[in-house]
Amino acid sequence: MQIHVVAQGESLWGIAQTYGVPYQGIIEANQLPNPDQLVVGQAIVIPIAGRLHWLAQGENLRQVSERYQVPIQDILEVNQIQSLNNLPKGSKLYIPNHFYRQKPSIDVGAYVDLKITGEDSPQYVNQVGEFLTYLQIFSYELNADGTLTQINDQAIINAAYADRVVPLMVITNLVEGAFDTELVTTVLQNVELQNRLLDEALAIMEEKGYLGLDFDLEYLGAENREAYIELMRRAREKVDERGYFLSSALAPKVEPGMTGVLYEGHDYAAHGEIADFVFLMTYEWGWTGGPPMAVAPINQVRRVIEYAASVMPNDKIMMGIPLYGYDWTLPFVEGETRAKAIDHQEAIRLAASNNAAIEYDESAQSPYFNYIDEAGLEHEVWFEDARSIQAKFDLVKEFGLRGFYYWVLGWEFPQNWLLVDANFNVNKRV
C-alpha cells in the first residue's frame, strides 16, 4: 500500500493513471464517499504491491537506497536502470514489497461497546475479524455487592470464535455511563467482595466461552492503587488455573507521580508485572468537552509509550488507537461546548460538502480542517486518516510493542484495515 495526498486540481482518474492502478480499485479500497469530488489534503491509500518513489531535486539513488533499506543494485535491476548518474528529477522508481519491508507479527485488539452497537455487534466483528487477535466485549458493570450486571453477549462471543478471535470479558465500574469512584472503592477495599467478583466473573467466562479477563476500572484515586494490585494478583491465580488471559486498561501516564483521580490508581509497573498485557488508553487528548485538538497526537502518545516501556516489558504493551474524531462548533466555551464524535468517512464527506481543504499537523501527526455550516457557524474537525494511522503503526514498530488495539468498533474507517494488512501479520491465539 502507498499513501497519496490529494493536491489542488487532481482527479481520481489522474491519480490512478499516475500509479498504474485501476480507477475502480482505488474507490473500492478506500470506499470513497466522494470519488468525483476529492478533497485537497485528503489521504488516499493506493492498492499496489510495493510502492513508487519519485526522485526529488538533488536526490540520488544512494539516498533512496538508505531510505528504504534496499541495495542500490536491486533498485537498478528492478527499474532496468543502466547507470547511477544523471537520473532526472521526477524519475519514477518502483520499490517492491519483498525488498523493503518484512512485516512483523503483532497482536491487535478492539473494544466493542454493546450499548452502542447492540444487536449489530456481531456484524462489525465479522467485517474485521481477520485483523483481530482479541475482542474486548464492553462491558460487565460492577455492583456494590461484588456481583456483575449480566449482558446479552453470546452472539458476539460466537462471532469472535468464527474468526479465531479471543473474546475478553471486560469488567468496569460504570454507573449510568460514568466511572464511579465510590462504587469501586466499596468493592476493592473488601476482600470478600473481591472474591465474589472474581468467582462470578470466572463462572460467566466458563459458561459463555470467554478466554480472557480484562479489567477497565477507572477513576480509582490513590487510595485504591494497592487494593487494585491485590485484585489483579488474586485474578492472576484464578485465571492461571484455567489458562485464561489477564489484562487491564490503564490511563495514559507519562511519569510515575502523575496526580489526579484518573491516574493515581493505576500502577504501570505492577500491572505490567502481573498482567499478560495492558491496554494503554492513548487517546482522548482531544475530547468532547475539551478544546479542539487531535484525539491521539503522536507526540503525546510517544510520551506515554516511552514511560510505559521504562517500567514494563515492551511485549506486554498494547497501544490504544481511536477509530473516531471530533467536530467542534466554534468558538469553544469551556463547560458548554460539546464536540460531536465522527468517523473518518463522515469527516471526508463534511470536508467535501463544505469545500474545505484538509490540513495536517506535523507535530501531532493528525489531519484537521475548518468549515462554515449552513447556520453560519464555524467548525473545527480533527480526525484520523491513513497518514496518522501509519505514524502510530511506525511507533509500534519502533518500540517493538506487543501490538495495539482500537476504541471502538462501529466507526467506518476502511483505510485503517488496509494498512493493518500492509504493515503487519496479525497473530491468532485461538
| 59 classed as catalytic | no
177 is written with which cell numbers?
455511563
Alpha carbons 391 and 366: distance in angstroms, whole number: 9
Strand pairing category for 277-280 and 317-322? parallel
Q: To 10 degrees, what angle do helices 154-162 and 121-128 make?
A: 10
Q: In the chain, how many H helices and how many E strands?
A: 16, 21
Alpha carbons 300 and 320: distance in angstroms, whole number: 12
202 is written with which cell numbers?
470466572
266 is written with which cell numbers?
493505576
Residue tagged active-site, from 218, 346, 380, 384: 218
Alpha carbons 157 and 315: distance in angstroms, whole number: 26
226-233's contacts with Cβ under 8 Å and 24+ in sequence apart are 227/188, 227/189, 228/188, 228/265, 228/266, 228/267, 229/267, 229/270, 229/271, 229/274, 230/194, 231/188, 231/194, 231/197, 231/198, 232/270, 232/271, 232/274, 232/275, 233/274
Alpha carbons 144 and 156: distance in angstroms, whole number: 27
Provide the β-strand partners of residue 109: 134, 405
Q: So which residues are the catalytic ones?
A: 218
